[in-house]
Amino acid sequence: MPWTVDLSPVDAALCAQDPDLPGLGAVLNAAPLAKTLGLGELRHSYLKYKPGTNCVAGLVPRDGSLGAWAAMTYPPVRWPDIRSRPKWNKKAQKAVYFDDAFTVFVPLALERRLPNARKLSAEKSRAELLHSLGLSHHTLKILRYKPGRRIVLRADGPKGSRAVLKLHARQADFDRAVAGAVYAETMGGPAVIATSPTDLAIATAWTQGHVLSPLSEPRDFVLAGAMLARHHAAGDPKNLPGLSAPKPHRTVRAISNLQPSLKARAQYLAERLPTLVADGMVAIHGDFSADQVVRETFGTVILDWDRAACGPAARDLGSALARLDFDEIGGPLTEDARRALIEGYAAVRPLPKGESIIAHRAHALFALAVEAFRDRRPDWDRHLGGVLDRVEQLCQTSQMPKAPSALPSLSSALDPEHVHAALGARPVEVALARLKPGRRALVRYDMPDGNVLLGKVRAKGIDLYAPRIQAKLRSAGLDGSDGVGVPPVAGTADSLALWLQQVVPGRSLGDMLDDPNCDCLNAMRGTGRALARLHLTPAQTERRWTHADELAVLEKALLEVGYKDILSLAKARLARLPPAPEVGLHRDFYFDQVLVGPDTVWLVDLDLYAQGDAAIDLGNFLAHLDELALRRGNDAGHFDALEDAFLSGYRLSAPLPDPRRIGSFRWISLARHIAIATRFPERRHTISAIGTLCRKKLSDGT
């Protein structure tokens, strides 16, 4: 069958240098070629190239259905044997041949080296496989397919995604995957649903949430680093295999095959890669990167422990940093993600030596040199050169990002055995929910009696103020009985330097703002009423927060970023405010501090509770709405309807302060976000808009 493909210049050059594989271009562009055959919309999932020998591509339907194909091309001398294989020609589903290109497309039903995957193509054998894994009546979607090696699928049931299913070609790979999955489960990872040694198949529980990418927010990388550190601190490596040594000579060969002109440089770099030192041996992931991390509502989960091993902690950190380096070449900047990952790790346990992390990072990045070719990036040649440039830079540096000190008790607070000793019961599950490196953390505990607790850890020791205030507020009437409350305090654990509160039923108001199906107006009215109830409750502390305190925080923030003119406007605005009655303030009140339940609005995180001007809480809440609108590319009035609902809810229970008074603290609070935005890449585009708005509003008195 005649064939033509549109080759990029770099692919055309590669094909020209390998005359023994005249069909190489067909496999490099197998997806568009398959479409002309009527095989559907396919995407590349795998590519393996041996110059002069063969090239194999794995192709997966874009909708994830089970119609996967492998495209393979061979030298002309082997073609008669390939063309006459009986199993590819006598079955109901046959291979498709391109004789002019010495290339064959083989359906999943005819897989040679991954025979168990053939069961997926027939309804009866697929049902038997699913039954053996406890997944009867589930449907399957292909996630990844490596012909002759492995296929990964998602099993969906009546209630949504249920499991990840992996079928392996080799016994050794299956055994290692099972060992890694069992280890991960003991560390709070996905449960192992079932294994089938006959089919070399393993099913593990599906993890809901979002997978990290270079575009994820830095705080997600902080939590990922902390979770990795927790594994390193608490994992037991004694039953895990040893770590295989890097093989830079293979990378040199692969680079030479693709770009002969780079052979000398690749060899030069391979010989100058830093020496790897086997220090700090722990249980490691073995292939750690951002796309192995899933952020859930209440925790962070690390997936795919197929290469779990006993090795140096620096290996996992170096692997993750290298992948971010790789993603940055021709892609988004990842400096903040790299720094956040290191900060999160250092908040739980001391970092390995900087030179050790850099060494592993350099080796891992060098191993990724030809990954852009395998991913079928059109500019894979430039990307390959960019990887070598960065490897050379790493070989010449010994600098690592500075990280804050670890939270001394966080590692123990994440260890079920330490928690058992402190609380008298071993939690069923432990998850790190929030982390501010070097400062504080929030840990979720699912207890065996069905209770769910949140523990708060601080770097400077256990916080006795917040639980005392929370208990007093509940005694004063904020116990949820009339639709407004603060969560019950569940005690303290001195040995873990944390205090605990019960989890209450409700959804974060911040999450609701992202859901078009939520009744946000009613939730906002309930939030306004809840804040009014807090302000009407007699103050339960002698601690005070004055206008001068508010101004001091703003001054520190704006002087760091050079916005002295806004600071001068804020000082003048506050100087004109007359005194006001003081109430019990939340002092950090915004939508993420509110949980909206079926019958109750809960106020959380009262660590800063103090007496002060009610307009401070009201202004702070409105400023956060303004910032969110600007961050999403809208104007500051985008949430006017929500603002009106919030203020009307407050007004139904308590008189509102003068609007100009609320406005004063609103724009002062928003001005603080200028400094905050400089620390988050995804917020930096708002700096100019915030500055302009604050100047206008602080000047005109609104």
- The model's pLDDT over 158-216, given as tens digits with 9 standing for 90+, comes to 989 999 999 999 999 999 999 999 999 988 889 999 999 999 999 999 998 899 999 88
Q: What is the mean predicted confidence (pLDDT) over 586-601? A: 96
- pLDDT tens, position by position, 630-655: 998 898 889 999 999 999 999 999 99
pLDDT of residue 366: 98
pLDDT of residue 4: 64
Query: Does residue 289 carry a pLDDT above 90?
Result: yes
Q: CA–CA separation, 590 vs 643, rounded Å?
A: 12
Q: Are 366 and 273 in contact (CB under 8 A)?
A: yes
pLDDT of residue 336: 86
Per the model's pLDDT, the better-predicted residue between 701 and 454 turns out to be 454
Domain 115-205: assigned CATH number: 3.30.200.20
pLDDT of residue 397: 79
Per the model's pLDDT, the better-predicted residue between 244 and 573 turns out to be 573
Residue 654 is given by DSSP the state S
| Lowest-pLDDT choice from 109-123, 418-432, 469-483, 652-666 | 418-432
pLDDT of residue 400: 65
pLDDT of residue 1: 43
Query: Does residue 459 carry a pLDDT above 90?
Result: no
pLDDT of residue 448: 93
Strand partners, 294: 211, 301
436 pLDDT band, cuts 50/70/90, is confident
Q: CA–CA separation, 248 vs 267, rounded Å?
A: 9
Long-range contacts of 521-526 (CB under 8 A, 24+ apart): 521/641, 521/642, 521/645, 522/645, 523/596, 523/601, 524/642, 524/643, 524/645, 524/646, 524/649, 525/645, 525/646, 525/648, 525/649, 525/652, 526/483, 526/596, 526/601, 526/649
Dihedral, 334, 335, 341, 344 alpha carbons, nearest 10: -140
Q: What angle (nearest 5°) sits at the alpha carbon of residue 103, between those of residues 102 and 106?
A: 145
Query: Does residue 2 carry a pLDDT above 70?
Result: no
* Counts of helices then strands in the chain (DSSP H, E): 25, 26
Q: CA–CA separation, 620 vs 166, rounded Å?
A: 49
Closest CA to 293 of 217, 228, 202: 228
- pLDDT tens, position by position, 18-51: 999 999 999 999 999 898 888 999 999 999 999 9
- pLDDT tens, position by position, 148-158: 999 999 999 99
Q: CA–CA separation, 61 vs 48, rounded Å?
A: 19
Which parts of 273-342 are beta strand (E)?
Answer: 281-284, 293-295, 300-302, 309-312
Residue 327 phi, psi dihedral angles, 5° rounding:
-65, -30
Q: Which amino acid is at 7?
A: L
Q: CA–CA separation, 78 vs 53, rounded Å?
A: 9
Average pLDDT across the chain, whole number: 92
Query: Does residue 143 carry a pLDDT above 50?
Result: yes
Strand partners, 243: none
pLDDT of residue 38: 86
Residue 218 is given by DSSP the state H
Q: Are 463 and 426 in contact (CB under 8 A)?
A: no
Q: What is the mean predicted confidence (pLDDT) over 47-73? A: 96
Query: Does residue 329 carry a pLDDT above 50?
Result: yes
- Give the DSSP letter string of 427-479: -SEEEEEEEETTTEEEEEEE-TTS-EEEEEEETTS---HHHHHHHHHHHTT-B
Q: CA–CA separation, 383 vs 325, rounded Å?
A: 11
585 pLDDT band, cuts 50/70/90, is very high
- pLDDT tens, position by position, 83-133: 999 889 887 789 999 999 999 999 999 999 999 999 999 999 999 999 999
Query: Does residue 424 carry a pLDDT above 70?
Result: yes
Correct CATH for 410-502 of 1.20.58, 1.10.10, 3.30.70, 3.30.200: 3.30.200
495 pLDDT band, cuts 50/70/90, is confident
Please give the CATH topology (third level) of the domain spanning 213-395. Answer: Aminoglycoside 3'-phosphotransferase; Chain: A, domain 2 (3.90.1200)
Q: Which amino acid is at 627?
A: E
Query: So where are the chain's domains?
Result: 9-110, 115-205, 213-395, 410-502, 507-700
Q: CA–CA separation, 20 vs 5, rounded Å?
A: 18
Residue 178 phi, psi dihedral angles, 5° rounding:
-65, -45
Percent of the chain with pLDDT over 70: 98
Q: What is the mean predicted confidence (pLDDT) over 127-152? A: 96
Closest CA to 681 of 215, 356, 257: 215
Token digits of residue 674: 């200028």
Closest CA to 26 of 60, 2, 42, 46: 2
The phi-psi region of residue 583 (left if phi > 0; otherwise alpha if psi is between -120 and 50; otherwise beta) is beta
Residue 93 exposure: Cα atoms within 13 Å on the Cβ side:
14
Q: CA–CA separation, 627 vs 634, rounded Å?
A: 10
Closest CA to 392 of 366, 415, 430, 427: 366
Q: CA–CA separation, 552 vs 545, rounded Å?
A: 11
Domain 507-700: assigned CATH number: 3.90.1200.10
The reply to whether domains 115-205 and 410-502 share a CATH topology is: yes
Q: CA–CA separation, 701 vs 663, rounded Å?
A: 8
pLDDT of residue 3: 57
| Lowest-pLDDT choice from 405-419, 560-574, 600-614 | 405-419
Q: What is the mean predicted confidence (pLDDT) over 267-277? A: 92
